[in-house]
Amino acid sequence: MKNKEEMKKWMIIILFAIISFYIINNLEIVWNVLLFLIKVMSPFILGAILAFILNIPMTKIEKQLNKKIKNKKISRIISIIISLLIFLLIIGFVAFLIIPEVVESIEKLVSIIPELVNDTENFVLNLLKNHENVQIEIKEMFKNINTSKLLSNLLNYIVNGSLSFISSLISSLITIFTGIIFSIYMLSQKEYLINCFHKIITAFLDNKKSKKVLEICTLANKTFSKFISGQCLDAVILGIILFIVLSIFRFPYALLISVLTCITALIPIFGALIAMMVGVILIGISSPIEALLFILIFQIVQQIEGNFIYPRVVGSSVGLSPLWTLLAITVGGNLFGIVGMLIGLPIASILYAIFRSYVNNKILEKGVTVK
């Protein structure tokens, strides 16, 4: 019996070594296959992510409905509908705020191109006023710039880009719609899916290991749920603070930049920089000096939020101190980039909880008290 178990272990080790060797020597093929599978499974993956996010408000809504409605199926259906409506309303509200501002920005950019060309020419000529030969060449260069042609090319680029964008948007909307359908099925049958997972784990692992895996999965679920809630709250706080500050200093596009910051801030610490770059472009069109001042103000607000508010709001939600929160995000970002920033904190929280439990159990086994 022992020989068979030993043989089984060695077979698993050898098989694992062969698979690992093949993956290492065929990384490009494996990566392409993985990307293909992700593309094929994208509606299901999106549905699973959406179901996980919607489950956070749905659970709270359902808990309140169960106190008033005895039929749990009806409570589940109502809670799914309400959660989905909240999600769609938020997306619709963001689109309602952003799209008109973007259209206005494009129109403004197109209208000021001739003025921008003239201002650039005057600036360069004044800068080179002591170099007449160079000034003559600069004047010739600007004469060759056909503003009408430039505008025509820009409009063609916008139209072609819009057509490509619309095509991609239709494809994305189909994927999103299919993902929403998957998420609704997952939410309505989440107990069944959890039970199936439980059965699979129990079938392939012994009682002790299966219990440990299920404990870790439960911990991961709670941690990621708290992380998402904390991340959303932090993003809203940053957006509100930025809107107040930009409004005080009378910056243009204060609402648009604040909403974009709110969205991109879901990428921990560094995500808001994307919104800052968009803000610099929008403000810089009308006033480069204001754009420089905007960078300074944005950096001050972002640093205050990233170093003081974020570690306390998000870190406390997943059970980590501000120090460990910053460390987890920094290490995750350095190792895996944006993805590492997104998952580094909750993973660190899970590992911290497991290690803390292990240490506490060891202390209890020794029968000593440590303060």
DSSP-assigned letters across all residues of 43-107? HHHHHHHHHHHHHHHHHHHHHHHHHH-S-HHHHHHHHHHHHHHHHHHHHHHHHHHHHHHHHHHHH
Backbone angles phi, psi at 136, to 5 degrees: -60, -45
Same domain, 10 and 102: no
**Confidence class for position 161, pLDDT limits 50, 70, 90:** low
Same domain, 163 and 268: no
**Confidence class for position 321, pLDDT limits 50, 70, 90:** low
Query: What is the rounded average pLDDT of the residues 285-289?
Result: 77
Same domain, 105 and 171: yes
Give me the residue label for tokens 């899916």: 193
CA dihedral 17, 21, 22, 24 (to 10 degrees): 140
**Confidence class for position 212, pLDDT limits 50, 70, 90:** confident
Cα–Cα nearest to 340, from 354, 330, 353, 352: 330
Residue 44 is predicted with a pLDDT of: 86
**More reliable by pLDDT, 113 or 172:** 172
**Domain range for residue 291?**
206-371
Task: Give me the half-sphere count of Cα atoms (radius 13 Å) on the Cβ side of residue 344.
Answer: 22
**Least confident segment among 14-18, 50-54, 161-165, 351-355:** 161-165
- CA 146 from chain center: how many Å? 42
Q: Is the pLDDT of residue 189 over 80?
A: yes
- Cβ–Cβ under 8 Å, residues 182 and 51: yes
Same domain, 34 and 168: no
Any domain includes 199: no
Same domain, 321 and 335: yes
Q: Is the pLDDT of residue 162 over 70?
A: no
**Confidence class for position 81, pLDDT limits 50, 70, 90:** very high
Q: Is the pLDDT of residue 2 over 60?
A: no
Same domain, 146 and 277: no
Any domain includes 197: no
Helix axes 272-286, 254-264, angle to 10 degrees: 160
Same domain, 229 and 365: yes
Q: Is the pLDDT of residue 215 over 70?
A: yes
**Confidence class for position 117, pLDDT limits 50, 70, 90:** low
Same domain, 156 and 248: no
- Cβ–Cβ under 8 Å, residues 105 and 285: yes
Q: Is the pLDDT of residue 252 over 80?
A: yes
**More reliable by pLDDT, 304 or 285:** 304
**More reliable by pLDDT, 182 or 136:** 182
**More reliable by pLDDT, 316 or 35:** 35
Any domain includes 90: yes
Q: Is the pLDDT of residue 177 over 80?
A: yes
Same domain, 171 and 230: no
Q: Is the pLDDT of residue 147 over 60?
A: no
Residue 134 is predicted with a pLDDT of: 54
**Least confident segment among 72-86, 127-141, 159-173:** 127-141
319's torsion region: left (phi>0), alpha (psi -120 to 50) or beta?
Answer: left
Residue 85 is predicted with a pLDDT of: 92
Residue 261 is predicted with a pLDDT of: 85
Say which DSSP state 267 is in: S
Same domain, 218 and 357: yes
Any domain includes 23: yes
Q: Residues 6 or more apart from 244 whose CB is under 8 A from it?
A: none
pTM for this one?
0.67
Cα separation, 371 vs 355, in Å, equals: 17
Query: What is the rounded average pLDDT of the residues 76-101?
Result: 85
Query: What is the rounded average pLDDT of the residues 80-87?
Result: 90
Same domain, 153 and 213: no
- Of 156, 188, 220, which one is at a domain's C-terminal end? 188
Residue 202 is predicted with a pLDDT of: 85
Same domain, 231 and 333: yes
Say which DSSP state 205 is in: S
Mean pLDDT of the residues in the chain: 76
Cα–Cα nearest to 344, from 336, 231, 49, 216: 336
**Confidence class for position 285, pLDDT limits 50, 70, 90:** confident
Q: Is the pLDDT of residue 52 over 80?
A: yes
Helix residue spans in the chain (DSSP H): 2-25, 27-40, 42-68, 72-127, 132-143, 147-188, 190-204, 207-248, 254-264, 272-286, 288-304, 310-317, 322-366
**Confidence class for position 268, pLDDT limits 50, 70, 90:** low
Q: Count of domains in the chain?
A: 3
Cα separation, 293 vs 245, in Å, equals: 12
Cα separation, 15 vs 19, in Å, equals: 6
Any domain includes 198: no
- CB crowding 48-60: b at 16 or more within 10 Å, else e: bebbbbbbbbbee
Cα separation, 44 vs 327, in Å, equals: 33
